[in-house]
Amino acid sequence: MLGMTYFGLFHTLISLVAVIAGVISFLRAGGISSDDVPGRVYVAFTIASCVTALGIFHHGGFGPPHAVAILTLVVLGVAAVARRSSLFGQASRYVETLGYSATFLFHMIPAVTETATRLPPGHPLAASADAPALKATYLVLLMLYVIGAVAQCAALRREAFRSAGRRYSLGRRSG
């Protein structure tokens, strides 16, 4: 089983469900939102993935994967607060959208690391999580996140302008 315990396999399957739901949400709506079924599945399975990650001690003790799990839970909480309150004011939609997208990035870091250090069996692509190729891959993932974040912000801005335009035109009187 690629050096995985049954618990590790369970964690991986939960994470895969979250990632697949996130991809579906991105393809359908351009981002992850708790308004639709794929978004709710993404959030629920991401929480489960984080909780199970905290029980995996592949390298002995608390390490970077555990920190990523905790950070992901915090960002999910911030995104949920942004969605359900006025704490962030007009920036709430941006905080929610960018927060959920950041958690998707956080999924990709261990996914790439675990895949590259385990596959192909017997001759993995990377000897360790510190391999230079992996560090370059993390940088590419970060750049993709930034590009996606800019695109998502632009789309939210266009949506806000369209909504404001509709409100304005609905409030005008015919002469």
pLDDT tens digits for range 50-99: 999 998 876 678 888 899 999 999 999 999 999 999 999 999 999 999 99
Give the pTM: 0.87
Quote the radius of gyration of the chain (alpha carbons, Å). Answer: 19
- pLDDT at position 175 is 45
Q: Are 43 and 71 in contact (CB under 8 A)?
A: no
Overall domain count for the chain:
1
140 within some domain: yes
Cβ contact 75:42 at 8 Å: no
Tell me if 21 sits within 8 A of 38, measured CB to CB.
yes
HSE-CB of 70 using CA atoms within 13 angstroms: 8
Q: What is the DSSP letter of 61?
A: S
Q: pLDDT band for position 1 (50/70/90)?
A: low
1 falls within a domain? no
Cβ atoms within 10 Å, residue 42 = 29
For the CA atoms of 155, 161, 166, 171, what is the dihedral angle to 10 degrees?
160
Region 135-163: what's the mean pLDDT? 94
**Domain boundaries, position 31:** 6-171
Q: Going by C-beta distance under 8 Å and a sequence separation of 6 or more, which residues neighbour residue 54?
A: 66, 69, 70
Residue 92: inside a domain, yes or no?
Answer: yes
Domain-located, residue 93: yes
